[in-house]
Amino acid sequence: MTVAPVVVTGLGAVCGLGVGVETVWQGALAGRAAVAPLRLFPTATHRTTLAAAVPDDAVLAAGRGWSRAERFACTAAAEAVRDLPAAVRQGARTGVFFGSSTGALFEAERFLAAILHGHEGRLRPLAAQQNDGPGSAVARHLGVRGPVATWSTACTSANVALGAALDALRAGEVDVAIAGGADELCETTYAGFNSLRAVDPQPTRPFRRTRAGLSLGEGAGVLLLETAAHARARGARVLCELAGAGRSCDAHHVSAPDPEGRGAAAAIRTALAEAGLEPAAVTFVNAHGTGTPHNDDSEAKALHAVFGARAAAIPVTSSKSLIGHLLGAAGGIEAVFTALSIVHRLVPPLAGSEPADPELGLDVVLGAPRPLPLANVGLSTNLAFGGNNAVVLLRSWQP
């Protein structure tokens, strides 16, 4: 089967490392962890007091009463579409495909705290509370008229949205897709992951022997996707290709991954098959790598199942080591990192100097950015509550 190639022509990023792709990328190459004491709400009674909050609200595209997630989403989307003509952006053949798991829960919590005690709360921020809040805000902010939808599959949301955008582009429904995800830190997810004892009291240490959980983060990652023909016709600069996507479900447990990583392996195999690629083509992995003992173990098994002996020789990184876990936005920001790795032929290292857990049998990128060969295929994986697995494959663009 030949399918029309889909290319990445713009990127936008907001996360704990800063606002804007260049700032974020320089932070990533330096292996700088944005995980720090959190001041957004009280954390003193929790297992951890850390998170990777977005540092500077002032530079974000703002609207009166906008939620943090809306501002993250619209700022990243505006950066991604910077070079897209307004006439294309506002036509019916451009869509928004977004992922979010918390909507504007931080602002909604203020309202809920009031209404639960019989008080009136401020209604305005609550209007953005629903999970489609950030994606719909992007569509309104940019004047989009094509398909707009939000996938909410917990920590795979944005990867699922990227796959849906790929489907719509290949099916000819749209020429252009603004795709990614946004989520904001809030007390509910912070308390929830603490209650599960899934957070590390220290900054998260993915793929390390002493790993003890995740660090939460927030932000948005957005990719501008086009059919290659559309990008060529408008003379757009192509960064890389979105070659494939794969989804599966463990059907095992609501919150724990399949210990053998079978579902994750199935999703990776599906993405490879849909991209027409062999496992041997993959040159690096931006792993889900949450830093929880179970996740990293299960994910390593999935990589070994798909790549066999070569799994030990593929550079593996986890963006969450630097920017924390962005939950429904994770797939968006991690796809941005994966695209930048292909453009610059560098895989950012994990933060910290502790060696990788030898039991995982992976080539974890530590200390300094890892140079990549001329042509690359990057795999970005996400696993989620509900047993949900979603991965995307990006590769060097070869017209």
Partner 1 sequence: MTPRDVVVTGVGCLGPWGLGLPALAAALRQGRALASPIDRSAGYHRPDAATQVAACGPLDLSPWLSPQAARRMSDLSQYAVAAARMALADAGLAAVPADRTAVALATAFGPGGFTEQLARQILDKGGKAASPFLFTDCVANAAAGQIAIDLGARGPNTTICQREAGPLLALQQGAFDVASGRADVCLAGAVDEMKPLSHAILDRFRALVRPDGQGELPRPFDRRRRGVLAGEGATVLVLESEASARARGARVLARVGPTARGFDPTAGRASFGHDAGGLAALLRTRLGRLLPEVGAVVSTAAGARQGDALEAAVLRRTFAALPPVLVPKAVHGEYGGGTLATALLALAGSDFARPAGCTEPDPDLGVVPASGRVQAARVLCSALAAGGAAAWSILEIP
Task: Give the 3-state DSSP-derived string for 170-208, with helices as H, strands as E and coil as C.
Answer: HCCCCCEEEEEEEECCCHHHHHHHHHCCCECCCCCCCCE
Which ranges of 100-156 does DSSP label H, i.e. alpha helix? 105-115, 133-142
Q: Which of residues 90-109 bind partner 1 (CB under 8 A)?
A: 90, 92, 95-96, 100-101, 109
Options 73, 126, 240, 340; binder of partner 1; rule CB under 8 A: 126
190 binds partner 1 (CB under 8 A): yes
CB of residue 145 to partner 1, shortest distance in Å:
6
Residue 67, SS3 per DSSP: coil
CB environment 199-224: b (16+ within 10 A), e (fewer)? bbebbbbbbbeebbbbbbbbbbbbbb
- Give the active site residue among 15, 141, 230, 288: 288
Contact 263, 247 (CB under 8 A): no
- 8, 13, 14, 152: residue in contact with partner 1 (rule CB under 8 A): 152
DSSP 258: P
Q: For residue 267, give Cα distances in angstroms to 139, 193, 327.
A: 29, 25, 19
The C-alpha R_g of the chain, in whole angstroms, comes to 19
Choose the binding region for partner 1 from 11-19, 53-61, 241-249, 305-313 (rule: CB under 8 A).
Answer: 241-249
C-alpha to C-alpha distance for 277 and 325, rounded to whole angstroms: 29
Q: Decide: 34 and 50 in contact? Cβ < 8 Å.
A: no
3-state helix, strand, coil in the chain (%, to 5): 40, 25, 40
Q: Which of 253, 368, 371, 375 binds partner 1 (CB under 8 A)?
A: 253
Residue from the set 130, 281, 314, 361 that interacts with partner 1 by CB under 8 A:
130
Q: Which of residues 7-66 bind partner 1 (CB under 8 A)?
A: 42-43, 45-46
Q: Does 222 bind partner 1 (CB under 8 A)?
A: no
Least CB distance to partner 1 at residue 236 (A)? 23
Q: Which is nearer to partner 1, 113 or 280 (CB)?
A: 113
Nearer to partner 1, 113 or 368 (CB): 113
Assess 384 for contact with partner 1 (CB under 8 A).
yes
Member of 52, 76, 148, 275 binding partner 1 (CB under 8 A): 148
Cα separation, 272 vs 306, in Å, equals 10
Least Å from the CB of residue 35 to partner 1: 18
Which one among 40, 88, 249, 277 touches partner 1, defined by CB under 8 A?
Answer: 249
Q: How far is the CB of 237 from partner 1 (least distance, A)?
A: 27
Q: Which stretch binds partner 1 (CB under 8 A): 54-62, 214-222, 253-261, 314-322?
A: 253-261
Does residue 140 interact with partner 1 by CB under 8 A? yes
288 is an active site residue: yes
Q: Does 87 bind partner 1 (CB under 8 A)?
A: no
Spatial distance between the Cα atoms of 327 and 216, rounded to a whole number of angstroms: 8
* Closer Cβ to partner 1, 154 or 285, answer by number: 154
Interaction residues for partner 1, span 304-363 (CB under 8 A): none
Q: Say whether 117 is catalytic.
A: no
User: Minimal CA–CA distance to 134: which of 310, 14, 298, 52?
Assistant: 14
Q: Is there a catalytic annotation at residue 294?
A: no
Catalytic residues: 155, 288, 325
